[in-house]
Amino acid sequence: MPTHGDPQMREVYAEALAGADPASKSLLGSGGSEGNLASNAALESTRRTEHAPANFTTLKHMAHNLIRKAPGKPSFRAKRKIAAWDDDFLASLIAA
């Protein structure tokens, strides 16, 4: 049986819904495509939240590295503020 994170779990849930009684189908929607959408949304939500902290940390490290390597005299904190205020400076950081 596939684990919770596997893409095959959608098929497992769809098969379980197909054999379920009408009362249990109504808990997830009308039992048709809406029921599958509800179970898919639950799977996607769980899948996204499991890795969100690590993904955000990676993006933060990448942004800090871009700011740190930017040429110029301003401090790291000043460069970060300038990037927030000035779109051209932000574009130059990303393009570098």
Asked if pLDDT for residue 11 goes beyond 80, the answer is no
User: Taking phi first (over 0 means left), then psi (-120 to 50 degrees means alpha), and beta for anything else, what does residue 29 get?
Assistant: left
Question: What are the tens digits of pLDDT across the range 60-80?
Answer: 999 999 999 999 899 999 999
Average the pLDDT over 41-59 and give the result: 77
For residue 7, what are its two tokens? 């893409």
pLDDT of residue 89: 93
What is the Cα–Cα distance from 4 to 79, expressed in whole angstroms?
43
Q: What SS3 class is residue 21? A: coil
pLDDT of residue 38: 63
What is the Cα–Cα distance from 61 to 22, expressed in whole angstroms?
49
Residue 14 and residue 36 in contact, taking contact as beta carbons nearer than 8 Å: yes
**Report field, pTM of the whole predicted structure over 0.85:** no
